Amino acid sequence: MKIFDPHIHMTSRSTDDYEAMARAGILAIVEPAFWLGQPRTHVGSFVDYFNSLIGWERFRASQFGIRHFCTIGLNPKEANNPKLSNEVLAMLPRFLAKDGVVAVGEIGFDDQTDEEEACLLRQIELAAEFTLPILIHTPHRDKKRGTIRTIDVVRRAGFPEERVLIDHNNEETLPIVLDTKCWAGHTIYPNTKMDEQRMAALVKKYGTDRIIVNSAADWGISDPLKVPKTIAVMQEQGIPDDAIQTIVWDNPVAFFAQSGRLDVSDLEKRPAIDRTQKFETNSVLRGDQRATD
Partner 1 sequence: MLTAVERVLADSLGPERWDGSHSPLLVAYATAPQHVGRDALFLSPADLDALRSAAPGIGFERWTRDDAARALLLIAIRKRGRTGDAFVSDALECFEQGDAREQQSWLRAIALWPEAKAFLPTAIDACRTNIIPVFEALACENPYPSEHFPDRNFNQMVLKAMFNSIALARILGLPARRNAELSRMARDYAAERTAAGRTVPSDIDLAIKE
Contact residues for partner 1, defined by CB under 8 A:
37-39, 41, 77, 80-81, 110-113, 140-145, 170-172, 194, 198, 220
Q: Which residue lies nearer to partner 1 by CB, 13 or 60? A: 13
268-285 in b/e form (b: 16+ CB < 10 A) is: eebbeeebeeeeeeebbe
Q: Which residue lies nearer to partner 1 by CB, 16 or 114? A: 114
CB 184, min distance to partner 1, A: 15
CB 78, min distance to partner 1, A: 9
Judged by phi (left if over 0) then psi (alpha if -120 to 50, else beta), residue 193 lies in left
Name residues whose C-beta falls within 8 Å of residue 208's C-beta, 6 or more positions apart in sequence.
Answer: 243, 246, 247, 251
- How far is residue 137 CA from its own chain's centroid? 9
CB 10, min distance to partner 1, A: 19
CB 162, min distance to partner 1, A: 27
Judge contact between 182 and 161, C-beta under 8 A.
yes
Q: How far apart are CA 68 and CA 55, in angstroms?
A: 10
Report the SS3 class of residue 267: helix
Q: Which residue lies nearer to partner 1 by CB, 152 or 274? A: 152
Q: Which residue lies nearer to partner 1 by CB, 112 or 283? A: 112
